[in-house]
A and B are shown apart, each in its own frame.
Chain A
């Protein structure tokens, strides 16, 4: 069963083409990370999923229902944290939390209080006095205190301190354990790595890659540093080798995963003293997609 299905969705704002044919599948009970550079179209995709914006073309289904036509039905099973949390300046944080919970459905007071405590928010303060991080906490508490099947979170932790980031991750993992779905747009890669089952990368309005982290790693290069008894010859003529640098007694280079076997075999013929191979970091992985020219 799919929680979310986005088929060939485009969205134009006047001349700006914010989305140029986005395709996404998110399964039930899956934590899905949606990442990409600034202005790539993450928030726009999310707003289309919520029926706040109408797609120029294409089809978006949430829980199998049309995101635009059946939005109210869908919203009964969704909790959303917007990217820019703006609150009513003369309401207190506690009032806003209660308001959002009740607009979504029934309230669980104990859970609400527990979350306020965990995020150490003072709910008696007027929203105008809250810092960015505190406004995000208000939205997060309201979201996680609601009973939802899918949590849609647009860069929910950009203002949180590391301690609160930890609390947030626990909340996500708790929902995941309950079998709930989470759709998380984020720039914080460690968070993505820790929480997410699958990742979708969007660039300039197109999803350029989607899959599990392990799958994505397959597509990239390993960094090898080798020391040998004799100087390695002929490696620059092999396929799938990049960025070779020589230092005393050894070589450092990148290699495509697919060519790994033959390259190691080749090196070993020069008498290996030491060999280190590092998998690509998540940063490397994303940088490849973030940079303009790949």
Chain B
């Protein structure tokens, strides 16, 4: 029996299992990547584009998005590949990481692979089939993205460049499929394989950032740096594509070799064993909640800091940029007493507050997730009060909301004083006030989520709908006359004064906070009185 018997049949089986998830990825990726070209072209007019090109050359932006090619003739194509290519490629990489783990290590962990292996299939058929499927999927996405971008029809986005853009995405996907296949052999759990693949992506990203800033060689070693050397829509180099292809073939071969050397369920890097006894700090309901939630909260605090810092880093050029862009002027409104820098810094507060809501909702949903998995039942069957248990989760959201807002402001402030010619334009206390003033709105969202958890756990996902609504309102609310005014009044954000343009409004702060407390208390009331059950 050969090593690859029945590989093609397994590949078709994977196709069947993947038809929904992969179709969603294809639609999402192609629609976003090919679809964003039009609105970007509309919103950023040629004059604004030139100054954006200059903004993009500042080190913070290069660190984030890669080097600027063709800045002197910053066409729509040049702008598009400069701002979008890296993230498009990383999105495909993420798709491949999940795909490959799903069909290799995860299947093995769940015992499905064992069943498959009991059939007349080769030792390497499953890995082979997975890689064949991944390759086909990446090719398909490359071609569709290429055609989609070409179909947009801007003169700066020709067929060759568009296909190169697609190929750059696809080949990045292939490299990460190969890396993940390798990690799936090395590590004995799907979780470890996934985390290390993501860690590799993070390291490649940082290597590229460092390389693009001052040590080119690092960027050439990192696949994420190399792929940008295609200089899509500027010089259209194809050689990085071939180099990356060769790299992915080599890594894949290594993965196959390791696969043939190891036993089922085994890896080459053993799992670290954990503690045999708990630390004292774990031994309480709050200790448990902290252990479950801390990692996520810490990550989000860092994300909020970095988002603040990246906003802060573009403030130096913002006056030039906005002066040339009517759309942004409309978004920012015309408050004559304030510079665009201040207006822009203020606008980011609403956006950041919206982003900060995401982890808060996730924490409340986690309480529901624990219940669905039957773990809440086990905890509540010990001598823990329901309100104590719930307070651990909800309390964590309130603490997290404050820490995230602070981290965001500090990030913004540190970056801003580094790039602004006159740092006193943005004093820290003004930034803090303008940011923390959003807290009552975050708390109202926590209150609604808690109320849903208590009173109507089945409908708790509706909180995402309300969140989406609030998100739209914050943006559309700035554009005059799209919706009747009262619709915008239905979110807590409407009542938050935008400092420093608006005056501080203590009354609405107090009212929002009271509403938040009442909603949360109602959530506790109902939670204490309902069945704890998975459905």
Residues of A participating in the B interface, judged by any CB pair closer than 8 Å: 47, 50-54, 71-72, 75-76, 78, 80, 82, 84-89, 91-92, 94-95, 97-100, 102-105, 122-126, 128-129, 139, 152
Contact = CB atoms under 8 A, between A and B. Distances in A.
Contact of A123 (B189, B276, B283): B276
Contact of A82 (B277, B378, B530): B378
Given A98-B277, A124-B273, A52 B381 contact: yes
Nearest to A97: B278
B383 A105 contact: yes
10 contacts: A47-B533, A53-B531, A53-B532, A71-B380, A72-B383, A78-B381, A92-B276, A98-B277, A103-B283, A125-B274
Nearest to A75: B383
Contacts of B377: 47, 50, 52, 82
Contacts of B380: 50-52, 71
Contacts of B277: 94-95, 98, 123
Interface string B40-56: 00000000000000000
Contact of A104 (B189, B382, B530): B382
Nearest to A91: B291
A154 to B, nearest CB: 10
B422 to A, nearest CB: 48
A249 B98 CA distance: 73
A126 B283 contact: no
Contacts, number: 108
B275 interface: yes
Contacts of B288: 88, 99
Contact of B378 (A51, A94, A100, A128): A100
Contacts of B275: 92, 94-95, 124
Contact of B382 (A103, A122, A126): A103
A193 B419 CA distance: 79
Contacts of A80: 378, 381-382
Contacts of B384: 72, 75, 103
B375 A92 contact: no
Given A50-B377, A94-B276, 4 more contacts: A95-B278, A122-B273, A125-B271, A126-B274
B385 interface: yes
B73 interface: no
Contacts of B273: 92, 122, 124-125
B500 interface: no
Contact of A103 (B191, B374, B379, B532): B379
B381 A50 contact: yes
Contacts of A82: 374, 377-378, 381
Interface in B268-301: 271, 273-278, 282-285, 287-288, 291-292
A139 B381 CA distance: 12
Interface in B36-89: none
A155 to B, nearest CB: 13
A139 B173 CA distance: 43
Nearest to A44: B533
Contacts of A128: 189, 191
A92 B276 CA distance: 7
B291 A75 contact: no
B374 A99 contact: no
A54 B532 CA distance: 9
B383 A76 contact: yes
Nearest to B382: A103
Contacts of B379: 103
Interface string B344-388: 000000000000000000000000000001110111111111000
Contacts of A97: 278
A129 B383 contact: no
Max chain A Cβ within 10 angstroms of own Cβ: one of B282, B382, B533: B382
Contacts of B382: 75, 80, 100, 103-104
Contacts of B285: 103
Interface string B466-489: 000000000000000000000000
A68 to B, nearest CB: 9
Contacts of A126: 271, 274
Given A52-B377, A72-B383, A75-B381, A95 B531 contact: no
Given A80-B378, A105-B383, A129 B532 contact: no
* Most chain A beta-carbon neighbours within 10 Å: one of B271, B283, B385: B283
Contacts of B375: 86-88
A91 B282 CA distance: 10
Nearest to B529: A54
Nearest to A53: B531
A186 B374 CA distance: 19
Contacts of B287: 99
B379 to A, nearest CB: 7
Contacts of B278: 94-95, 97-99, 102
A72 B382 CA distance: 8
Nearest to A48: B531
Interface in B500-535: 529-533
B2 to A, nearest CB: 33
B523 to A, nearest CB: 18
Most chain A C-beta atoms within 10 Å of own C-beta, residue among B275, B383, B529 = B383
A80 B381 CA distance: 7
Contact of A124 (B276, B282, B374, B530): B276
